[in-house]
């Protein structure tokens, strides 16, 4: 196991190892065979954020966090900082307008449609 995030990442790694492995009655992650179907631990958690603050406060703070992330300095050549899920959401929106096809694929589909007596649009 290699930690990420320096000393804080190391502490997080140990916490997850304890919660997902030891408390779950599983072996340590370094003892899990690295093949499909091997038995490893699972850690799940659920929080109700509205036990801590109101819906309006929650939304305002999340919006503030996103604005801070979006306005942060970017590496050279990086045009925009994306939030997790944002790229997929944009792609899904574009796909609602149609799926891009190269000319070869489009022609193959048109030929197949003609063979089957269907009309391409």
Which pair of tokens denotes residue 28?
């340590």
Q: How far apart are CA 22 and CA 28, in angstroms?
A: 7
Residue extents of the structural domains in the chain? 1-45
Q: What is the pTM of this model?
A: 0.54
Give 34 or 22, the one with higher predicted confidence.
Answer: 22
SS3 at position 42: coil
**Mean pLDDT to the nearest integer, 13-34:** 76
Spatial contact of 29 and 41, defined as CB atoms under 8 Å apart: yes
Tell me which DSSP letter residue 88 carries: H
Q: How far apart are CA 88 and CA 106, in angstroms?
A: 24
Residue-wise pLDDT tens digits, 49-105: 999 999 999 999 999 999 999 999 999 999 999 999 999 999 999 999 998 999 999
Residue 3 pLDDT grade (very low, low, confident, very high; cuts 50, 70, 90): low
């Amino acid at each position: 196991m290699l930690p990420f995030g320096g000393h804080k990442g190391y502490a997080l790694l140990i916490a997850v190892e304890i919660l997902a492995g030891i408390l779950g009655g599983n072996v340590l992650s370094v003892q899990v065979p690295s093949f499909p179907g091997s038995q490893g631990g699972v850690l799940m958690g659920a929080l109700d954020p509205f036990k801590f603050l109101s819906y309006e406060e929650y939304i305002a703070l999340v919006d503030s966090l996103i604005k801070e992330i979006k306005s942060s300095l970017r590496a050279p050549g990086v045009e925009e900082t994306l939030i997790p899920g944002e790229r997929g959401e944009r792609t899904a929106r574009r796909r609602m307008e149609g799926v891009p096809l190269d000319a070869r694929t489009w022609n193959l589909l048109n030929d197949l449609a003609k063979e089957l007596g269907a009309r391409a649009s």
